[in-house]
Amino acid sequence: MAEVITVTALNRYVKTLLDRNDVLYDLALRGEIANFVQNAKSGHCYFSLRDGQCSVKAVMFRSDAQRLAFRPQEGMRVVVRCRVTLYERDGAFQVYVNAMFPDGIGEAQLALEQLKAKLQAEGLFASEHKKQLPAFPERIGLVTSRTGAALQDIKNVMGRRWPAVRLILCPVNVQGFEAAEEIAAAIGRLDRLGVDEIIVARGGGSREDLWVFNAEIIARAAYRCKTPLISAIGHEIDYTILDFVADCRAPTPSAAAELAVPDREALQRHLWEIEGNMHENMQKRREICYTKCKLCADALAGGLARRKLETAKARLGFQCEALHASSRIRWKDKSRQLSHAAQLTGSLNPYQVLARGYAMVAGPDGKVRQADQLQEGETICLMTAHRRAQCLVTAVEETHESTQNL
């Protein structure tokens, strides 16, 4: 008779069988999304994957759903990386999704446009965040495959244009499920290392081969990077999300190398041109100085300077004589004016009047008094040219006009 077991034991046994299967532990599964629901509180995503005949329940936890580069929609074809197991409590066979990628050009393009609109709204493409490339870099970090053609192209171009630069390679996978995280981590390591520039490069390939560079994790790593970053993915017609976030976009890896370093031959030609211009300018200045010296020598040889000197000397002598004559005339004129003023001053001198026999009356305070200010009994001083007399006024009489006339 068969052994009797519990439902819990059955579910646990089946779950153990599934978990021990290496194929089911890391599986890439293609299907169409159905009944997609994202829990607003927990952030977990619940949906089904189906094809033309069957379906399977799937769950994607919030930590994995936050890394999605697009918004899953009903009916979208996708490829998921997952593990297959049993939800023991309900006995439900389901897949646990770790990563999800669009499958098909239509869905992939839709996811790409959704991510572009999201990142653009957050400002990751804004021109004010773009950094200038250094003119003469010393160390350049390179994120690419160790075995890809992009590495050799960049090394050849840099070796020809600017061999003094040091190239630091951070090898990564450039396609596949793990590539996005590896590329983002490599950008961060080189940024912390302190290189002058970073180049993220990959050679040409199909649209699916280049799709990893549309990953959101790479775009955000490039945006956080403080070092100028050049994106060189595929060929000239290929565009990825990284091209819009990077500080500079190159159409090919070789073009990225040309943008990253100067051309020593062009600089050498420029220096030669500067040197030629310097010699030409020096020669022109020498010719100008020689011409001036020749003119001066000719002028000296012809006696022009001596004649100019003699003419100037004669003109200076004439001006000196005119100055002396003018000075003598002005001296005589001023002397005459001074003599006249002295005579006028002498005629107005009161002591000259006193010398002719007149006298001045002064009061007790020594100040000159007018005759009409005299008072009877007052002591006055009569001052002549050579004498002073103290007098007492005994009487003050008014004189008549007729007496004054006498």
SS3 call for 30:
strand
Q: Does domain 7-105 have CATH number 2.40.50.140?
A: yes
How many other CB atoms are found less than 10 A from the CB of residue 279?
Answer: 10
Query: Is residue 368 helix, strand or coil?
Result: strand
Domain 122-126+137-262 annotated CATH 3.40.190.10 = no
CA 41, CA 318: separation in Å to the nearest integer?
A: 113
d(CA 242, CA 231) in angstroms, rounded, equals 7
pLDDT value, residue 405: 47
**Which pLDDT score is estimated for 29?**
93
Residue pair 42/62 in contact by the 8 Å Cβ criterion: yes
What is the distance, to the nearest Å, from the Cα of residue 247 to the centroid of all Cα atoms in its chain? 17
Instruction: Map out the domains of the chain as residue ranges.
Output: 7-105, 122-126+137-262, 263-301, 352-398
12-20 long-range contacts, CB within 8 A, separation 24+: 12/88, 14/86, 14/91, 15/85, 15/86, 15/88, 18/84, 18/85, 18/86, 19/85
**pLDDT value at position 62?**
93
C-beta neighbour count of 177 within 10 angstroms: 15
Taking 50 as the pLDDT cut, the residues of the chain under it are 403-406
Q: For residue 77, give the nearest of 114, 36, 33 by alpha carbon.
A: 33
State the Cα–Cα distance between residues 112 and 219, nearest whole angstrom: 12
